[in-house]
Amino acid sequence: MRKKRSLGADQFSKILQQDVIRSKERMDSDPSEAHRREFVRTTYSAIEAQYWQLKMYLIEHIVTNKKEAFHEVAALKEESYVVSEKGEVHIKSKGYPLKTGLRLVVSILQKYKIPIQVNLGSVDWKNLDGALKIRNRVIHPKSMEDITVSIEEAECCYQAFAYINNLMLVAILGSALAVLNEGPVRNKRSSFFSLKEK
């Protein structure tokens, strides 16, 4: 099941990346307002999808087998729980902003000793804010100014996408390295090797 899901996630990720690349190619060959708006929509859609995949990766590979991580799994799934007057427990979907979720992801990675550094004052982090504002303006326009996207704004969205994509790669590589580094210390075999003993 896990292998099948990972293959699906890889395909999903590849399609989104190809969408961004093709949209960027169209924008570069014909830098019209329409292509820049399309690029903003495509890129931010990919940012949100990559972010969701990153959270699902954490659930599947980092916190799944840890009993104390129940609340972390619920937070990553953006769920909370309420009890009705009848005493029944119901799951309540509770979304939160992208940057709040990324801070959660980073804190979980650091808690489980996954080597990752995030500078909250960096240009990359600020590009996430910029991309969200640009996306919201383009998706919910109220004036001509709202549908005007400059080349710099398109670049901001692209850099935000690249940052999320890189963050996901660092999380995956970091977790793989953490498992490999943990193995010899605790006399364990890495789960990344599947050699069967005879």
Give a three-class secondary structure readout of 153-176: HHHHHHHHHHHHHHHHHHHHHHHH
pLDDT confidence of residue 175: 76
pLDDT confidence of residue 71: 84
Phi, psi angles (nearest 5°) of residue 118: -130, 125
pLDDT confidence of residue 4: 52
State the pTM of this model: 0.79
pLDDT tens, residue by residue, 12-41: 888 989 999 999 999 999 989 999 999 999
pLDDT confidence of residue 5: 54
For the chain, helix (H) and strand (E) counts, in that order, are: 6, 2
pLDDT tens, residue by residue, 124-152: 999 999 999 999 999 999 999 999 999 99
Confidence bin at 189 (pLDDT 50/70/90):
very low
Task: HSE, CB side, 13 Å, CA atoms: give it for residue 134.
Answer: 29
Nearest to 46 by CA among 135, 117, 124: 135
Token pair for 73: 């799994």
Q: Where exactly are the structural domains of the chain?
A: 2-70+96-180
